[in-house]
Each structure stands twice: as C-alpha cells, then as structure tokens.
Amino acid sequence: MRILFLGDVVGKTGRKAISERLPSLIEQLALDFVIINGENASHGRGLTEKHYNELLAAGADVVTLGDHAWDQKETLGFIAREQNLVRPINMAKGTPGRGATLVAAKNGKQVLIVQGLGRVFMNPIDCPFLAIEEAIAQCPLGEMADAIVVDFHVEATSEIQAMGHFLDGRASLVVGTHTHIPTSDQRILKGGTGLMSDAGMCGDYDSIIGVTTDEPLNRFLTGVPMGRFIPAEGEATLCGVVIETDDRSGLCESIMPLRVGGVLGQVGL
C-alpha cells in the first residue's frame, strides 16, 4: 500500500497548492491513502470546517491537527462528528474529537492514524508515549490495522526520534510535524517502521516558517509584539513523505521524501 503524508498546510497558499497539485500526485504516485496535517490551514492558525472540507475534496483521506487545534473556535463544534479529523490523543479526558481513527483506504485496507503532541518545549500535556501505545494496542498492526501512521507534533527532533524507536515494529510510519522545516533523515528502522523527524510544511518558504518576515523579525530583534503573524502568500512547496508498506506485515518497505513546487529543491517526482 502506498501512503502519502503531507506536513502542516499554512494558510491560503498552502490550501491552493493542495487543491491544484494533490489530485495529480495521487494519480502519478498511485497512492492508496493520503494524510494531511491541517492545523495551520485557516489563516495560519487552526482549521475551519470549510477549509477541512477543501482538503478532503482535494484528496485527503484524513486530516490531523496539533497544538493550534482550537484556534478556530468552530472546530470545537464540528470535530465531534468528523471521523476523518484527528486531534492530539494525549489531550485531557473529555476533549472533543478523537486522537485516533481507523479509515478504509481506496484499496479496502484499514489504516489507523494516531496523533500525539510532544512535551519538550511545549505546554504541559499528558504523556504521548503511553497514550499512543494504548491506541495501537487496541488496533494492532497486521491484525486489525493494515497500516499505522503516527503524526507526532513536536518541537524537538529528539522526541520524535524517541517515539520512532519506541514504536519500531509496531507502526508503519512515525513522522514529525510542527516545525515547518522538512528534514532529510527519512529511513526505515531495524524493526521495519519508517521514521522522518519532520515532514515540513505545505506553504510559502520565502517566509519565516510560513509567515511574512516583518513581524517575526521584529519580535526577534525587539521582543515587543507590534502586530499579528500573517501567512505568506507566494508559491507554496508541498512537503511530505511517501511510504510503501508490506501487504502482510504492514511495515514500511520504502520511504521517500516529497517536495513539489515553490522555492525548495524538488524531490520525489
């Protein structure tokens, strides 16, 4: 099975690139399943229902969130009824929505998607390792799930590395989101789990992590906020990772970074 994971979609330019490029990528790469991190898709912070539906219409099978899950208040209302929208599993008990979901791929295979939120340099939250392990134990790879993809939303590459090794042999792919910078460390661990520290963002890289440069520079130089962050609107680069899984075990057989469009070097096509 071929699975594409795309990193954080940032603002209008990221959504436009998804709508324009994803349908042809699905065909060119013969993809069976697509996961997109959409936590910055609406004006750079959070995800509205309209923009969630745009990502689904473009070809996403599942959309994940992150630490900005509730920045668009309407998300609190519609997330409960959306099986294909996943927020961090280690949020407090009683939080709306779900942290894991089992969804059928185009080929009929069952894919479990789990998202966790890191704790290093992040706001206090429950343990992601135990929460993700419990979700996988309830739907094991090669038994109830034909593939398992874990989106780990983290600041520290050490934490995503730890999660990869913790789940090695029990997940198809462990991939980082949140930093908006694609890493080049994609590999298959000894137990057969694909790992990449950050998928990167789907947004304008002529920016500071997807934001026009003036206000971030001002805050670095002065420490005094003078305005809000505004998503950059130049041509986006779609960044992510493609894996192919073994039909019997569900483990990763190949892993390839993907970078298409915009100012970054192109990889994967």
Q: How confident is the prediction for the chain on average, in pLDDT?
A: 97
Residue 147 clears pLDDT 90, i.e. is over it: yes
- Whether residue 266 is contained in a domain is answered as no
**Amino acid 166: pLDDT:** 98
- Whether residue 89 is contained in a domain is answered as yes
Structural domain span for residue 178: 2-260
List all residues 6 or more positions away from 137 whose beta carbon is below 8 Å from its beta carbon.
Answer: none
- Whether residue 53 is contained in a domain is answered as yes
- Whether residue 268 is contained in a domain is answered as no
Question: What pLDDT digit, counting tens, does each position of 220-230 carry?
Answer: 999 999 999 99
Name the β-bridge partners of 9.
Answer: 202
Question: What pLDDT digit, counting tens, does each position of 92-133 carry?
Answer: 999 999 999 999 999 999 999 999 999 999 999 999 999 999
- Whether residue 156 is contained in a domain is answered as yes
The total number of structural domains that make up the chain: 1
Comparing CA positions, the residue from 82, 55, 85 lying closest to residue 69 is 85
Other beta carbons less than 10 A from residue 187's beta carbon: 11
Percentage above 70 pLDDT, the chain: 100
Contact in structure between 6 and 37 (CB atoms under 8 Å): yes
- Whether residue 84 is contained in a domain is answered as yes
**Amino acid 205: pLDDT:** 97
Percentage above 90 pLDDT, the chain: 99
Banded model confidence at residue 164, pLDDT cuts 50, 70, 90: very high
**What number is the average pLDDT over the span 9-19?**
97
Q: Is the pTM of this model over 0.85?
A: yes
**Amino acid 269: pLDDT:** 76
The CATH number of whichever domain residue 174 belongs to comes to 3.60.21.10
Q: Which helix (H) or strand (E) covers residue 136, if one does? A: helix 128-138
Contact in structure between 132 and 175 (CB atoms under 8 Å): no
CA atoms within 13 A on the CB side of 109: 23
Three-state DSSP class for residue 2 = strand
**Catalytic residue set:** 68
Contact in structure between 164 and 187 (CB atoms under 8 Å): no
- Whether residue 196 is contained in a domain is answered as yes
